[in-house]
């Protein structure tokens, strides 16, 4: 059972979501505007937020940014927009998952369960893995903070999860299927999602795919993270 906030202005959709989630034994609160959602998140603790994009007072993508400023609560985007670039942008902005309307209650249940498993596995991370050091990269898993060469990195939730997962296995090539299963908690998915997150993560690490320092992609195999190779003096 989870505490769920539904942010949806369409009364028919809103009622259907509330009914299904309640029947699944979740505790549900609902609002119809972005400002109400921000107020609820600031005042009440939720396990997950289901956020519609077409809200009357503020676009859902802007609401997502503001939510991320308040809390790291998992957010599932529910949208009728099926533009791939828009979906990728929302994932990069901090969304944990998305659903394209119309969707079935079974699909919603599967995505909700995956997001909750991922959130709970993070909170149950063992103390032995709390601090990770790879070269000049230092990761504090409990504080969810990553520092590179003394500078704190500004990472989204998913970027941090991806970086911490790879850094905990320095030098080990991790298959994309394993990344989907362990970081995204999905048994299937689009490789482009991984590529986009790796691209953004490389930018923040000050590297590129053509000139990697920490993140190395082995085409057709997977990805590994390892410390930069020291350049011998001339």
Residue 233 in domain: no
Which of 99, 123, 147 is the last residue before a domain boundary?
123
Spatial strand order of the sheet with 75-79 comes to 27-31, 3-7, 48-52, 75-79, 97-100
Reported as a pLDDT band with limits 50, 70 and 90, residue 232 is: very low
Residue 12 and residue 103 in one domain: yes
- In terms of average pLDDT, the best of 70-84, 100-114, 152-166 is 152-166
Average pLDDT rounded to a whole number, residues 82-86: 77
Residue 118 and residue 187 in one domain: no
Q: What domain range is 155 assigned to?
A: 127-225
Residue 211: HSE in the Cβ half-sphere, 13 Å Cα cutoff: 4
Residue 58 in domain: yes
Report cis status (omega within 30 of 0) of the bond before 102: yes
Residue 186's pLDDT is 67
Residue 152 and residue 221 in one domain: yes
Average pLDDT rounded to a whole number, residues 124-140: 76
Residue 92 and residue 142 in one domain: no
Residue 231 in domain: no
| CB contact at 8 A, 37 and 5 | yes
pTM of the model: 0.58
Residue 51 and residue 73 in one domain: yes
pLDDT at 128 over 50: no
Average pLDDT rounded to a whole number, residues 3-19: 92
Residue 190 and residue 86 in one domain: no
Distance CA 100, CA 165 (A): 28
Residue 118 and residue 179 in one domain: no
Residue 126's pLDDT is 46
CATH number for the domain that contains residue 34: 3.40.50.2300
pLDDT at 134 over 90: yes
Residue 43 and residue 105 in one domain: yes
Residue 222: HSE in the Cβ half-sphere, 13 Å Cα cutoff: 14
Q: How many domains does the chain have?
A: 2
Sheet strands (E) in the chain: 3-7, 27-31, 48-52, 75-79, 97-100, 131-134, 137-140, 145-148, 151-152, 215-218, 222-225
Residue 101 and residue 153 in one domain: no
Reported as a pLDDT band with limits 50, 70 and 90, residue 234 is: very low
Which of 123, 144, 179 is the last residue before a domain boundary?
123
- pLDDT tens per residue across span 199-223: 999 999 999 989 999 999 988 788 9
Residue 37 and residue 131 in one domain: no
Residue 144 in domain: yes
pLDDT at 187 over 80: no
Residue 138 and residue 196 in one domain: yes
CATH number for the domain that contains residue 215: 1.10.10.10
Which of the residue ranges 84-93, 99-108, 123-132, 202-211 would you say has the lowest mean pLDDT?
Answer: 123-132
Residue 135 and residue 114 in one domain: no
Residue 20's pLDDT is 92
91 vs 11, more confident: 11
Residue 175 in domain: yes
- pLDDT tens per residue across span 53-71: 888 998 878 888 888 877 8
pLDDT at 129 over 60: no
């Amino acid at each position: 059972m989870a505490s769920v906030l539904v942010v949806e202005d369409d009364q028919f959709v809103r009622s259907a979501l509330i009914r299904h989630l309640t029947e699944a034994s979740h505790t549900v609160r609902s609002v119809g505007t972005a400002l109400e959602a921000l107020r609820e998140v600031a005042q009440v603790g939720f396990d997950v937020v289901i956020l519609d994009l077409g809200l009357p007072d503020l676009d859902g993508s802007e609401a997502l940014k503001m939510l991320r400023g308040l809390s790291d609560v998992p957010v599932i985007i529910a949208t009728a927009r099926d533009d791939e670039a828009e979906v990728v942008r929302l994932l990069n902005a901090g969304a944990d998952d998305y659903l394209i309307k119309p969707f079935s209650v079974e699909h919603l249940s599967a995505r909700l369960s995956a997001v909750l498993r991922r959130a709970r596995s993070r909170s149950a991370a063992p103390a032995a893995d709390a601090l990770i050091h790879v070269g000049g990269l230092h990761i504090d898993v409990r504080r969810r903070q990553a520092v590179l060469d003394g500078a704190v990195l500004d990472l989204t939730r998913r970027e941090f999860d991806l970086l911490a997962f790879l850094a905990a296995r320095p030098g080990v090539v991790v298959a994309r299927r394993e990344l989907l299963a362990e970081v995204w908690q999905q048994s299937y998915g689009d490789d482009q999602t991984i590529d986009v997150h790796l691209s953004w993560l490389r930018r923040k690490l000050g590297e590129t795919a053509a000139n990697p320092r920490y993140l190395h992609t082995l085409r057709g195999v997977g990805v590994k993270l390892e410390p930069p190779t020291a350049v011998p003096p001339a």
